Amino acid sequence: MKLNPTKCSFGVSSGKFLGYLVTQRGVEANPDQIRSIENIESPKCMKDVQKLTGRVAALNRFISKSSEKCLTFFNILRKNKAFEWNDDCERALQDLKTYLKSPPLLSKPKDNETLFIYLAVSDTAVSAVLVREEDSNQHPVYYVSKTLLDAETRYSRLEKLALALMMAACKLRLYFQCHSIKVLTAYPLKNILHKPELSGRLTKWAVELSEYDISFHPRSAMKSQVLANFITDFTPGEGVQAEQELVAFTETATPGRWILSVDGSSSIKGSGLGLVLESSQGDILEQSFHCGFHATNNEAEYEALIAGLDLVKSLNVKVIKSTFDEFSIEQIPRSENTRADALVNLGSTTTNSSKSVPIIHLMSPSIQESETMAPVDNGRSWIEPIFNYLQADILPDDRAETRKIKAKAAKFSILYGKLYKKSFTSPYLRCVTPREAYDVLKSLHHKECGNHSGARSLLNRAITAGYYWPTMRIDSQITSNHATSKLPAAPGGVVCMLVLTNYFTKWVEVGAYQQVRDIEVRNFIWKNIICRFGVPKEIVTDNGSQFISYDFKNFYDKYAIKLSFSTPRYPQANGQAESTNKTIVNKLKKRLEAEKSQWAEKLPEILWLYRTTPRRSTGETPFSLVYGSEAVIPIETRLSTARSENSNEEQNNLELSFELDHLDERRDRAALRTQSYQQQVARHYKKKVNVRVFKLHDWVLRRVFQNTREEGAGKLGPT
């Protein structure tokens, strides 16, 4: 082995390494690089400015907010700009030289040491400093900064703070991968990054940052003058603006204090409660309660307070958490609570009243002892660790488990006390426990909205309905495994099904009949198609006698409907009808089980299920392509989702109108997907087809069809 003595040093206390001066104290800037900037003259041309910025770039690690300090230099180098060295440029150069006269000493982090990071933003740049703490003293490790692009300058202050953290994670990736990072900031970046109302860029950043072990903590007093200078550069105006943006992010209700007055009484005639809720705008809500149980005066007072708090919570008075920061309970004289006292008398004296104040009957106390029969331990739900982290920043002691929870949490949000997962294909998905997941699958597969579909279809229906749990794929496979049986005849002589499918939306209409004649077909089309959806342009049928009769053709001519028939020699031309028939019959077989003779009564349930299940060819449900929005399935009325939980009637009507405006776009997208699916099926089919080219005088095997059979035709007949 040969070594170059001029490039190798052993057993030295200090030395130059990768352009830096490494000593026992830490990492120092190279004096030669600093001297090259101190001795530089004011630039006279573009080339001189490029030399200056190049020398500054070599010292970026040591320069606090280097992008901000050098912004005037960068502006000169912009394209289509003439060279102009003005007073601002000269002042920036002198400030830079002054700063480099006492450059900071950078520290070297230790293995598995927790590092801290401070963030700062301005109108033109974002900056960050990585810090380590030793003996109650903070030492800078690395300075990074970035000049904002034109679009980034229009970000809000909170978005710029998130951008600063994202920039630091990209430039200091090795530090973020090897160390736990604590972000010290006066603003709740963690809550902002996990808030569902955020823009797409913030959600994207939250997912990218989830791979690191990052925690957020309030910023305390600076333990280093160098760091104090870094933070004080945060202009006062930016702090005020960020506070206003934070209020806009977190506030979800009308500001102001609400006043709740309650009272309760008990008499021989009964017990009653009264409450008056007054908003900050002066709106008053009155309620009177009649207790269907005996209660003492004290118990009536407690019941009144509990009923009032339930009313406040149901009205979502401010965000309950923040509103109750200033909540107080005061005992006031009866003379100052006359309105609530009158409501108490109204509730305790009679159960019938001619006044317009509603009287609510309480059949049992709010708090009562219940007998424990058989306690059931559901175990620790998968929701608990993620919910605890997002809600109260509670993490387990195991570092690997902590890292896993933080990575997962970036894809979840808390809405109104429930955990939701961010979805790519639908609104936020309600996270459910294993027991709730069992109820969802049971409802989608067995009950009133179930169709006993396959695993993939069942999984897609659960996601479309708005639910999520980690094992939903394997659970869907287990639930969908069951046997089928032959479909029997229905009572009353109903033995036939008439099926009509819309070729584009895949919407299906089905009728059950004793026999299918032309009159049944005409009535079916009139009631189920024309009266509900209008006159169709074209209908494709097979060559059944009921479809080619004289009366049936007159019916089509009357409404100018084009009637087409599938060729007898190629029945696959009517494949859409055959496919729908097969799907409905198979689902009936799976659905009936013990009620095999009731298939006609089960048809509406099968149709409901078919219409609310996404079709593979379109990627949409037939219901959404016809009506412009997804249907509310029965399970949503019992186990609420993001769509039903936060429903507002006026806003919902407006959103439905918007969906109708965008319906054409959705249908066009479904049409393109259908064409792509058909091409995919055709390519798959043609893989097994051997292309044959026939020539004149070649011998072939002729297939004879029954309806075109000629005399003497057959395998041995003349050709």
From 187, 250, 175, 160, select the one nearest 214 (Cα to Cα). Answer: 175
Q: Which of 297, 329, 362 is the last residue of a domain?
A: 362
SS3 680: helix
Contact (CB, 8 A) for 287 and 343: yes
Do 241 and 349 lie in one domain? The reply is: no
Tell me which DSSP letter residue 104 carries. Answer: P
Looking up residue 124, the CATH number of its domain turns out to be 3.10.20.370
Q: Is the pLDDT of residue 413 over 50?
A: yes
Q: Are 163 and 126 in contact (CB under 8 A)?
A: yes
Q: Which residues pair with 15 in a beta bridge?
A: 22
What local confidence, expressed as pLDDT, does residue 8 receive?
75
| Matching residue, tokens 């963030």 | 119
pLDDT of residue 327: 43
Q: Would 503 be classed as within a structural domain?
A: yes
- Per-residue pLDDT band at 354 (split at 50, 70, 90): very low
User: How far apart are alpha carbons 608 and 630 in whole angstroms?
Assistant: 12
Q: Residue 595 domain-assigned?
A: yes
Tokens for 349, please give them.
Answer: 């004296």
Residues 73 and 190 in one domain: no
Return the ∠ at Cα 572 (arms to 571 and 574), rounded to 5°: 80
Residue 265 lies in a domain: yes
**Is 171 contained in some domain?**
yes
Residue 653: which domain range? 491-661
Give Dmax (Cα) for the chain: 114
Q: Is residue 389 part of a domain?
A: no
DSSP state of 136: T
Nearest to 400 by CA among 213, 200, 532: 213
Highest mean pLDDT: which range of 190-199, 249-258, 533-542, 634-643: 533-542
Q: What is the pLDDT of residue 704?
A: 60
pLDDT surpassing 50 at residue 628: yes
Q: Residue 288 to residues 56, 157, 309: CA-CA distances in angstroms?
A: 75, 48, 14
Sign of the Cα pseudo-torsion (531, 533, 535, 538, in order): negative
Q: Cβ distance 206 to 410 under 8 Å?
A: yes
The predicted pLDDT at position 170 comes to 92
Per-residue pLDDT, 157: 83
The reply to whether 86 and 128 lie within a common domain is no
pTM of the model: 0.48
List the structure tokens of 29.
């800037």
The dihedral built from the CA positions of residue 549, 539, 582 and 634, taken in this order, carries a sign that is: negative
Statement: residue 529 has pLDDT above 50: yes
b/e sequence 194-209, b meaning 16+ C-beta within 10 Å: bbeebeeebbebbeeb
- Both tokens of 95, joined, read 């400030």
CB 173 within 8 A of CB 212: no
The token pair that represents 64 in the structure block: 């606090």
- Tens of pLDDT, residues 172-188: 999 998 888 999 888 77
At 460, which helix (H) or strand (E)?
Answer: helix 455-465
What does the alpha-carbon distance between residue 645 and residue 458 come to, in Å, rounded to a whole number? 23
Per DSSP, what are the bridge partners of residue 273? Answer: 264, 289
SS3 content of the chain, % helix, strand, coil (to 5): 45, 15, 40
The answer on 225 and 77 residing in a single domain is: no
Maximum mean pLDDT: which of 258-262, 400-404, 701-705:
400-404
Are 511 and 528 within 8 A, CB to CB? yes
Mean pLDDT for the stretch of residues 588-596: 60
Antiparallel, parallel or unpaired: β 20-22 and 359-362:
unpaired
Residues 135 and 158 reside in one and the same domain: yes
Tokens of 166: 């994202």
Element at 538 (helix H, strand E): strand 538-541
Determine the residue type at 493: G
Residue 432 placed within a domain: no
Pick the more confident residue, 617 or 31: 31
Closest CA to 622 of 535, 505, 476, 529: 505
Euclidean distance between CA atoms 119 and 168, whole angstroms: 9
44 and 148 in a common domain: no
Contacts of 700 (CB under 8 A, 6+ apart): 694
Residue 278: how many other CB atoms lie within 10 Å: 16
Q: What is the mean pLDDT of residues 354-380?
A: 57
List phi, psi (to 5°) of 285.
Answer: -120, 125
Domain count, the chain: 4
pLDDT for the residue numbered 115: 92
Q: Find out whether 585 and 426 touch, Cβ atoms under 8 Å.
A: no
CA separation for the pair 462, 334 (Å, rounded) = 55
Q: Do 159 and 297 have their domain in common?
A: no
Picking from 490, 466, 507, 481, the residue whose alpha carbon sits closest to that of residue 602 is 490
Q: Is residue 453 part of a domain?
A: no
Residues across the chain: 719
Q: What is the pLDDT of residue 584?
A: 67
Give the Cα separation of 546 and 515 in Å (integer).
10
Least confident of 162-166, 294-298, 375-379, 440-444: 375-379
Q: 234 with 125, same domain? A: yes
- What is the DSSP code string of 674-699? HHHHHHHHHHHHHTTPPP----TT--
Split at pLDDT 50, 70, 90, the class of 241 is low
594 plus 572 within the same structural domain: yes
Q: Give the CATH number, domain containing residue 291.
A: 3.30.420.10
Sheet with 270-278, side-by-side order of all strands:
259-267, 270-278, 284-291, 359-362
569 within domain boundaries: yes
More confident residue, 480 or 405: 405
User: Cβ(143)–Cβ(77) under 8 Å?
Assistant: no
For residue 593, give the nearest of 485, 491, 488 by alpha carbon. Answer: 485
Q: In terms of domains, do 552 and 514 share one?
A: yes
User: Could you tell me which of 628, 637, 590 has the C-alpha nearest to residue 609?
Assistant: 590
The 10 Å Cβ neighbour count of residue 274 is 29
Dist CA 108 CA 26 (whole Å): 6
Domain final residue pick, 250, 276, 307? 250
Q: Which two tokens stand for residue 377?
A: 């331990």
d(CA 273, CA 254): 28
Q: What angle do CA 541, 544, 545 make, to 5 degrees?
A: 130
The DSSP-derived string for 46-101 is HHHHHHHHHHHHTTGGGSTTHHHHTHHHHHHTSTT------HHHHHHHHHHHHHHT
Which range (26-30, 320-324, 446-450, 527-531) has the least confidence?
320-324
Q: Where are the beta strands (DSSP E) in 378-423?
A: 412-415, 418-421
Domain shared by 88 and 120, yes or no: no
Tell me the C-alpha distance between 188 and 195, whole Å.
11
What would the mean pLDDT of 205-209 be, rounded to a whole number?
Answer: 85
Alpha carbon of 131 to those of 100, 184, 221, 253: distances in Å?
A: 20, 10, 14, 39
Burial class (CB in 10 A: 0-12, 13-18, 19+), 37: middle
Query: Based on the domain organization, do 86 and 119 belong to the same domain?
Result: no
* Tokens coding 73: 């230099």
Of 250, 280, 297, the one marking the end of a domain is 250
Distance, CA of 372 to CA of 356 (rounded, Å)? 41
- Of the ranges 149-163, 292-306, 441-455, which one carries the lowest mean pLDDT score? 441-455
Lowest mean pLDDT among 64-78, 249-263, 657-671: 249-263
467 three-class SS? strand
Tokens of 111: 């293995």
